[in-house]
Amino acid sequence: MTRPLFWHELKLGPRITLDFGDIKIVTPDNVIFECSRCGNCCRAISADVKEADIIRLSKKLKRPPSEIATKRPDGKLVLWHEKEYYISPQTLTQSVSRCIFLDGEKNLCTIYEDRPAVCMTFPFHLDSNGVASFIFEKWPDYSNYCPGFYYGTPNKDRYEDYADGLRRLQSITPKYLSQ
């Protein structure tokens, strides 16, 4: 595999569409993605959390949603857990620079099965038409933290899991997708 580059340094080929029926992934024809499990996205990148995520997590933590959820002044949902805000690094306490659900030593998500849908689909962004593309196309700076993309030939097999995650995101957050 070719060494990872920052997104803005890639010579992107024409976009192709990987068709999963209700979900379509649009990607440059010369870029593939494979998560290196570095955990950077859980340390450095903010993500919106949806109500359906909170309900699922509430079951996991055996606490009512009202105890673990609050809203930011702009109306977006964030999670509240053990008196720390969850998911957006800038909302964490000064001494913590990661999502509080990340086990910093093992570099693993401690709520992996119940993690927010947006965590399942990263680094893809899904629009209201069911079309997903790399978030780096819209927010190239995020690529500075993510070493998972490479020059290579995309194929559907590689993205089956992501298509499932995107489908789940689509089913639980239709309003979010139209924003």
Q: Exposure of 129 by Cβ count < 10 A (0-12 exposed, 13-18 middle, 19+ buried)?
A: exposed
Restricted to residues 58-117, the positions that interact with ligand SF4 (CB under 6 A) are: 87, 99, 101-102, 109, 111, 115-116
40 binds ligand SF4 (CB under 6 A): yes
Q: How far is the CB of 107 from ligand SF4 (least distance, A)?
A: 8
Token pair in block for residue 165: 């995650």
Q: Closest CB to ligand SF4 among 127 and 150?
A: 150
Over the Cα atoms of the chain, what is R_g?
17
38 binds ligand SF4 (CB under 6 A): yes
Q: How far is the CB of 43 from ligand SF4 (least distance, A)?
A: 8
Q: What are the C-alpha distances in Å from 116 to residues 47, 150, 167, 169?
A: 9, 26, 13, 9
Q: What are the C-alpha distances in Å from 28 to residues 53, 125, 162?
A: 30, 14, 16
**Contact region with ligand SF4 (CB under 6 A), list: 10-18, 22-30, 31-39, 65-73:** 31-39
Q: What single DSSP character describes residue 3?
A: P
Q: Which residues bind ligand SF4 (CB under 6 A)?
A: 35-42, 87, 99, 101-102, 109, 111, 115-116, 119, 122-123, 145-148
